[in-house]
Amino acid sequence: MNISPLISARRVVALTGAGISKESGIPTFRDSDGLWKKYRPEELASPEAFRKNPQMVWEWYAWRIQLVRNAHPSRGHIVLAEMERHYPEFHVITQNVDGLHQRAGSRNVVELHGRIDRARCTGCGRVYEPAPIEDIPPVCSECNALLRPDVVWFGEPLPPDAWEMAVELASQADAMLVIGTSALVYPAAHLPVLAKSRGAFLVEINPSYTPISSLADITLRTGAGEGLDLIWKEVKEHVEG
């Protein structure tokens, strides 16, 4: 495995998806289990679903918020936080909404899909963090309108600032690590293509084949923690050696 472009890189970006948090015990949409298995995510994580049945959507979110509150950062999250302290410029761009990168110690995190443990008033826009999930569906204490989870749902645009930042980081990166994302959900899936077209060295870590696999300079068919450990060890050996 020749990772020398990653060793000499100055600007590094990690793009993460649900796979890295799976190792913290948070199911991806595709392998969501138990109770909610009979629903497709599009039937729950969408503005239409919320309009039709806010109670049910909030029950699903309350369940996921509890999972996130009880979870701990995985080895992969921790390695990325260590890498941030090593490189002159290191950013995580994440599609995850669980806040686990920050809890692992990462500071430069661009959240493309919002934050699950945060609610937003559909009336006045007031933000509540953590999300109040005692009474479901929760209402705003200022204007009494319904609160909604402060995440990006299917069919909704990404927060413009976060997207702009992600595009800038991807186009300037010397290297990009693509970890635990199926690279099917646009526009996020465009970022590795953009980085590669601007000359970035592309490393993918994913146990399954994805549309990025054929584009990547190196693909590790491992879980996030194992793959990141491997790469990080090599980088450190070169620096220390």
Q: Which residues make up the interface to ligand NAD (CB under 6 A)?
A: 17-23, 26, 28-30, 95-98, 113, 180-182, 184-185, 206-208, 210, 223-224
Indicate the SS3 state at residue 2.
coil
Q: How far is the CB of 106 from ligand NAD (least distance, A)?
A: 14
Region for residue 199 given its phi and psi (left: phi exceeds 0; alpha: psi -120 to 50; beta: otherwise)? left
Helix 224-240 and helix 75-86: axis angle, to 10°?
30
The two tokens of residue 140 are 């705003």
Q: Which of 123, 132, 159, 207 binds Zn ion (CB under 5 A)?
A: 123
Residues in region 36-95 near Zn ion by CB under 5 A: none
Q: Of the residues 77, 91, 101, 113, which is catalytic? A: 113
Q: Cα–chain-centroid distance for residue 148?
A: 20
Give yes or no for residue 143 binding Zn ion (CB under 5 A): yes
Measured CA to CA in angstroms, residue 211 lies from 19, 96, 181, 183, 185 at distances of 15, 19, 10, 6, 11
Q: How far is the CB of 63 from ligand NAD (least distance, A)?
A: 12
Nearer to ligand NAD, 147 or 183 (CB): 183
Give yes or no for residue 119 binding Zn ion (CB under 5 A): no
Q: How far is the CB of 51 from ligand NAD (least distance, A)?
A: 20
Of the chain, the end-to-end C-alpha distance in Å amounts to 17
- Residues that bind Zn ion (rule: CB under 5 A) add up to a total of 8
Q: Residue 98 binds which entry of ligand NAD, Zn ion, none, with Cβ cut-offs from 5 to 8 Å by kind?
A: ligand NAD
Give the separation between CA 225 and CA 143, rounded to whole angstroms: 45
Nearer to ligand NAD, 140 or 219 (CB): 219
Strand pairing category for 127-128 and 114-121: antiparallel
Known catalytic membership, residue 113: yes
Contact, 64 vs 27, CB < 8 A?
A: no
Q: Which residues are catalytic?
A: 113
Binding site for Zn ion (CB under 5 A): 121, 123-124, 126, 140, 142-143, 145
